[in-house]
């Protein structure tokens, strides 16, 4: 009888420990920012946490481009309201998210209704770490004000979506009518990565170019 009781108590303790481990394994920022996670596997939550932790660890360091060009083209501080650094940026991102759920979508990520993020297989399996970072920043901007919805790209638009080759941008709401929307935020972030040589400078530069050309000065 005694043995069984001890065994039961031991099993209970073991269960408690396992449970605590699971809870402790999650990053505290989800709870702190009241972000609800749903339909995601543990591996997918871990994937999201890796992305956010990576964002948090970004530091500018030394400029790897001409200072005059940096001053001319950098818009990060103007748009985000603080100088480029991963700590403030990850905080900025987390405050724009209300929930993240798993749902397969045609795009990398979607932000509906001011902070309801949806991510699917494409986000977890078909993107590079850099793409996951700028995709989240892009979506986060859709949480602000009226959501900064995209508009159709202009007739005769000459550019392509290299990651979504089936998409004809002339027919898609995949451009911004002014320089305050999600593509501007995405581009401003990519520009800092390019300027400071974080990640692959060439990749960041190409992605900056293809992001900034979605910002169309519509008349
Ligand atoms: Zn968007």
Distance 123 CA to ligand 1 centre (A): 14
Give the pLDDT of residue 5: 53
Q: Which two tokens stand for residue 206?
A: 């190409």
Mean pLDDT to the nearest integer, 97-109: 85
Distance 196 CA to ligand 1 centre (A): 25
User: What is the domain partition of the chain in residue ranges?
Assistant: 30-212
Answer yes or no: is pLDDT of 12 > 60. Answer: no
The pLDDT confidence band at residue 3, using thresholds 50, 70 and 90, is: low
Distance 159 CA to ligand 1 centre (A): 17
Distance 103 CA to ligand 1 centre (A): 16
The pLDDT confidence band at residue 110, using thresholds 50, 70 and 90, is: confident
pTM of the complete model: 0.86
C-alpha–C-alpha distance, residues 14 and 215, integer Å: 56
Distance 119 CA to ligand 1 centre (A): 13
Give the pLDDT of residue 162: 86
Distance 176 CA to ligand 1 centre (A): 9
Distance 139 CA to ligand 1 centre (A): 6
Distance 201 CA to ligand 1 centre (A): 24
C-alpha–C-alpha distance, residues 158 and 168, integer Å: 10
C-alpha–C-alpha distance, residues 30 and 167, integer Å: 34
């Amino acid at each position: 009888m005694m043995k069984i009781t001890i065994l039961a108590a031991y099993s209970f303790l073991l269960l408690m420990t396992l449970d605590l481990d699971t809870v402790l394994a999650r990053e505290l920022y989800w709870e702190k920012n009241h972000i609800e996670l749903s339909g995601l596997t543990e591996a997918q939550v871990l994937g999201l946490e890796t992305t956010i932790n990576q964002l948090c660890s970004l530091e500018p360091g030394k400029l790897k481009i001409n200072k005059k060009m940096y001053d001319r083209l950098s818009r990060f501080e103007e748009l985000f309201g603080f100088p480029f650094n991963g700590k403030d940026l990850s905080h900025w991102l987390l405050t724009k998210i209300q929930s993240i759920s798993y749902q397969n979508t045609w795009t990398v990520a979607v932000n509906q209704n001011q902070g309801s993020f949806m991510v699917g297989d494409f986000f977890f399996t078909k993107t590079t770490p850099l793409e996951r970072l700028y995709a989240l920043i892009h979506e986060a901007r859709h949480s602000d004000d009226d959501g900064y919805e995209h508009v159709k790209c202009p007739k005769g638009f000459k550019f392509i979506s290299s990651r979504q080759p089936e998409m004809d941008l002339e027919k898609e709401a995949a451009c911004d009518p002014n320089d305050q929307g999600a593509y501007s935020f995405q581009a401003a972030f990519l520009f800092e990565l390019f300027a400071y040589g974080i990640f692959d400078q060439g990749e960041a530069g190409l992605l900056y170019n293809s992001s900034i050309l979605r910002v169309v000065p519509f008349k």
